[in-house]
Amino acid sequence: MSLLIIGTVAFDEIETPFARTGKILGGAATYIGLAASRLIKDIKLVSVVGGDFPKKYIELFQKNNVDTSGLKIIGEGKTFFWSGRYHMDMNTRDTLVTDLNVLADFDPVLPEGYRNSRYVMLGNLTPSIQRKVIEQLEVRPKLICMDTMNFWMDTTWDDLLEVITMVDILAINDAEARQLSGEYSLVKAAEKIRKMGPKYLIVKKGEHGALLFYEDQVFFAPAMPLEEVFDPTGAGDTFAGGFMGYIAKKDDTSFETMKNALIYGSALASFTVEKFGTERLLEVSDKNIQDRLLDFVKLVSFNM
Amino acid sequence: MSLLIIGTVAFDEIETPFARTGKILGGAATYIGLAASRLIKDIKLVSVVGGDFPKKYIELFQKNNVDTSGLKIIGEGKTFFWSGRYHMDMNTRDTLVTDLNVLADFDPVLPEGYRNSRYVMLGNLTPSIQRKVIEQLEVRPKLICMDTMNFWMDTTWDDLLEVITMVDILAINDAEARQLSGEYSLVKAAEKIRKMGPKYLIVKKGEHGALLFYEDQVFFAPAMPLEEVFDPTGAGDTFAGGFMGYIAKKDDTSFETMKNALIYGSALASFTVEKFGTERLLEVSDKNIQDRLLDFVKLVSFNM
């Protein structure tokens, strides 16, 4: 089934204690789209880039089943640029530069063929832009999943709460779930947030895995303990892309399918962090993914 | 099978943002013993208390299958006292008071009947005292598990490394594993630590669960997401006691049994934090435990 993705397409410049990149392809929608492309062929991208965005990246999207007719190119503008430096723990980072550029005035317009998408992933972005995408849909999708971040809680609280009422799943990290709900306990946070609108809450805990809350149920997807985390950039978006890609492929929104989708997302994310940017995600084979999924099964299986 | 436990028996005074206790029963060996007593009847305690230690607590141990003939009572001395205050997150705490009292000169002597124990749990304590216990054993136990903490890495490094060579399992938290190995990646840390002696490494991550490393295998036991953590004191020791109790009960040291043992330990620990001190652990029914174990199965089960 079709997956509509809105989010940033960016240039990233990443520094870790061990290495640094030049300008490389980044952005939430990039990781979401390329992750979902491991599973489905009908992926529709909504984003904006500047005239400096290389044709080879657009071709990369297209080669990976990502429809770019919703990718607006503003010839005289520059592509969104983010630069960050990771600390020794590879878990915390400082943002060095955030140049919004063409993203500052982004007003998304969905191409005709996008408006009946069955699955929608709203990458982290200004809440009002996320809302405009939902409002242009002609049919209510089977599932809308939304990412957001603390910045929008600090600056556009009312807009954020409005969009949250329109989605089925909110996927945020543990600190954000605590900030949004005012509760330290994630169980209590989930209860409060689900009353704000979304039926499901995903709490991303990075190297500590992810929780999915639904009604009185909770599922935990572990993160794979890795020998080395080379670059954590894009792990959360890869996770979201794998999650929604899996659900769209199965065309099933049951809790059972969502569990598998979380494991699939975690597996893909565990590859993304093994190299800079999208490099590992793009080269990994289906066999690699199947083996990693088996590792996840082994990681948590017990027989009491 | 028999489980020998060495560790502190203490008075604790605990303050959380929501409540505080007076002097209550605490100490690593207390939690380990009472947790193991949910599973086995042959538990031998080695510790020391002062003349101020109430008879009712000794009776409590005995009623719960904990043999106290190895609990030395120094009539003119005072029992070890610890006082701490938890922060709002209930995860970090300040130690307010540590009065070693009778613990300062503790020189453990194992009663005759203790010296052929098949399973041994060395609670967090001065490494040289842990070593003295091992040296008094007449037969090499089937399994020795050791807890320790950063304090001993800072103050008695050589002693610590010596004891580590004598045990089968080291059970420490993630920060301690990183400090001990000098590696941030827990996979690399496990590899280094296992080269120091123990065949198995358990990394306790508190609310984020626990990892068990063995050869090239890794198992992850989640922590149960809880509505409320009332008092985290003793959770790690309850976990260790449940873990070793389960293994002693099965009298089996296979990796498969250890996985179940970790889940059992996690389940017991999830009760301990629901009330102050040992209160909840002592009142919880077998039915409660079975239900919680089922919750753990549900928490991580998926069928891809």
User: What would the pLDDT profile of B184-218 be if each residue is shown by its tens digit?
Assistant: 999 999 999 999 999 999 999 999 999 999 999 99
Say how far residue A171 (Cα) sits from the centre of its chain: 8
C-alpha A1/C-alpha A244 separation (Å) is 11
Say whether residue A182 is in contact with chain B using an 8 A CB cutoff: no
Residue B99 CB contacts under 8 Å (≥ 6 apart), including other chains: B78, B80, B81, B82
Mean pLDDT calculated for residue range B263-267: 98
Q: What is the pLDDT of residue B270?
A: 98
Q: Apex CA A274: angle with CA A268 and CA A278, to 5°?
A: 65
> Cα distance from B85 to chain A (closest Cα, Å)?
17
- Asked whether the predicted pLDDT for residue A149 surpasses 90, the reply is yes
Structure tokens at A147: 């990412």
CB contact under 8 A, A90 and B184: yes
Question: In percent, how much of chain B has pLDDT > 70?
Answer: 100
- Asked whether the predicted pLDDT for residue B46 surpasses 90, the reply is yes
B109, exposed or middle or buried, with CB in 10 Å at 0-12, 13-18, 19+?
Answer: exposed
CB contact under 8 A, B220 and A299: yes
pTM here? 0.95
C-alpha A259/C-alpha A220 separation (Å) is 8
Question: In percent, how much of chain B has pLDDT > 90?
Answer: 97
Q: Which helix (H) or strand (E) holds B32?
A: helix B28-36
pLDDT band at A90 (very low <50, low <70, confident <90, very high): confident
CA B246 to each of CA A110, A135, A149: distance values in angstroms, whole numbers, following the listed order: 58, 56, 43
Return the residue in A86, A90, A220 with the most chain B beta carbons within 10 A, the one to mutate for interface testing: A220
C-alpha B57/C-alpha A131 separation (Å) is 62
- Asked whether the predicted pLDDT for residue B91 surpasses 90, the reply is no
pLDDT band at A92 (very low <50, low <70, confident <90, very high): confident
- Asked whether the predicted pLDDT for residue A300 surpasses 90, the reply is yes
What are the chain A neighbours of B222 within 8 Å (beta carbons)? 209, 220, 222, 300
Q: What is the pLDDT of residue A89?
A: 81
Say whether residue A142 is in contact with chain B using an 8 A CB cutoff: no
Say whether residue B298 is in contact with chain A using an 8 A CB cutoff: yes
C-alpha B248/C-alpha B118 separation (Å) is 8
Across chain A, what does the average pLDDT equal?
97
Say whether residue B226 is in contact with chain A using an 8 A CB cutoff: yes
CB contact under 8 A, A220 and B219: no
- Give the HSE-up count for residue A169: Cα atoms under 13 Å, Cβ half-sphere: 28
What are the chain B neighbours of A205 within 8 Å (beta carbons)? 208
CB contact under 8 A, B304 and A263: yes
For the segment B216-243, what is each residue's pLDDT rounded down to a tens digit?
999 999 999 999 999 999 999 999 999 9
- Asked whether the predicted pLDDT for residue A8 surpasses 90, the reply is yes
Q: What is the pLDDT of residue B92?
A: 85
For the segment A97-138, what is each residue's pLDDT rounded down to a tens digit?
999 999 999 999 999 999 999 999 999 999 999 999 999 999
Q: CA torsion angle for A57, A63, A67, A73 (degrees, to 10)?
A: 20
What are the chain B neighbours of A293 within 8 Å (beta carbons)? 304
> Cα distance from A47 to chain B (closest Cα, Å)?
33
What are the chain B neighbours of A209 within 8 Å (beta carbons)? 208-209, 222
Q: Give the residue numbers spanning the domain of A34.
A: 3-300
> Cα distance from A255 to chain B (closest Cα, Å)?
10
Contact (Cβ atoms closer than 8 angstroms) between residue A170 and residue A194: no
pLDDT band at A63 (very low <50, low <70, confident <90, very high): very high
Report the CATH number that the domain containing residue A59 is assigned in CATH: 3.40.1190.20
CB contact under 8 A, B227 and A303: no
Residue B225 is nearest to which of A90, A218, A222, comparing CB atoms? A218
Those of residues 59-98 in A touching chain B at CB distance below 8 A are 88-90
What are the chain B neighbours of A259 within 8 Å (beta carbons)? 301-302
- Asked whether the predicted pLDDT for residue B90 surpasses 90, the reply is no
Number of structural domains chain B divides into = 1
Across chain B, what does the average pLDDT equal?
97
Neighbouring CB atoms inside 10 A of B17's CB total 12
Residue A184 is nearest to which of B89, B256, B300, comparing CB atoms? B89
C-alpha B281/C-alpha A166 separation (Å) is 43
What are the chain B neighbours of A219 within 8 Å (beta carbons)? 298-300, 302
Residue by residue, DSSP assigns B241-262 as HHHHHHHHHHT---HHHHHHHH
Mean pLDDT calculated for residue range B159-172: 98
Mean pLDDT calculated for residue range A34-47: 98
Q: Helix B235-250 vs helix B255-272: angle between axes, to the nearest 10 degrees?
A: 140
> Cα distance from B41 to chain A (closest Cα, Å)?
21
SS3 B273: coil
Say whether residue A256 is in contact with chain B using an 8 A CB cutoff: yes
> Cα distance from B208 to chain A (closest Cα, Å)?
6
C-alpha A130/C-alpha A171 separation (Å) is 14
Contact (Cβ atoms closer than 8 angstroms) between residue A33 and residue A9: no
CB contact under 8 A, B260 and A211: no
Q: Output the 3-class SS for B112-167.
A: HHHCCCCEEEECCCCHHHHHHHHHCCCCCCCEEEEECCHHHHHHCHHHHHHHHCCC
CB contact under 8 A, A300 and B222: yes
Question: In percent, how much of chain A has pLDDT > 90?
Answer: 97
- Asked whether the predicted pLDDT for residue A88 surpasses 90, the reply is no
pLDDT band at B29 (very low <50, low <70, confident <90, very high): very high
